[in-house]
Amino acid sequence: DTAVSQTPKYLVTQMGNDKSIKCEQNLGHDTMYWYKQDSKKFLKIMFSYNNKELIINETVPNRFSPKSPDKAHLNLHINSLELGDSAVYFCASSQGKWGGQGRRWQPQHFGDGTRLSIL
């Protein structure tokens, strides 16, 4: 059973279009994330949701809008796609904080990624 699944796996589209990527996790986790991996393989956080509430919103253009209908799903909608949006987008999930100290985080588990190519 796939733990974190993303669709589609590949997305090829033209500049200016609007597209969405969907993510679902069946691990029972309460926190989900979107990361972007650029052509140099550097992974950077974009957004995170905890129990449907947005808790991290990095400096991402507002053309990117995440939506979490429930804690098992986190979607990413991108408006007016630009050439610079070409990258691999990874969804991840984790159980969030644990332990009495409150500053330790469970590891995150990643989906297979969506390779977005803008023509």
What residues make contact with another protein under the rule CB under 8 A?
Answer: 31, 33, 35, 40-45, 48, 50, 55-56, 58, 90, 92, 94, 96-97, 101, 103-113
Taking the complex as a whole, how short is the minimal distance between the CB of residue 58 and another protein, in angstroms? 8
Q: Based on CB atoms, which residue is closest to another protein, 65 or 105?
A: 105
Answer whether 46's CB lies under 8 Å from 53's CB: no
Taking the complex as a whole, how short is the minimal distance between the CB of residue 113 and another protein, in angstroms? 5
Q: Based on CB atoms, which residue is closest to another protein, 84 or 107?
A: 107
Extended strands (E) in the chain: 4-7, 10-13, 19-25, 31-37, 43-50, 53-57, 64-70, 73-78, 87-94, 97-98, 104-105, 109-110, 114-118
Taking the complex as a whole, how short is the minimal distance between the CB of residue 28 and another protein, in angstroms? 16
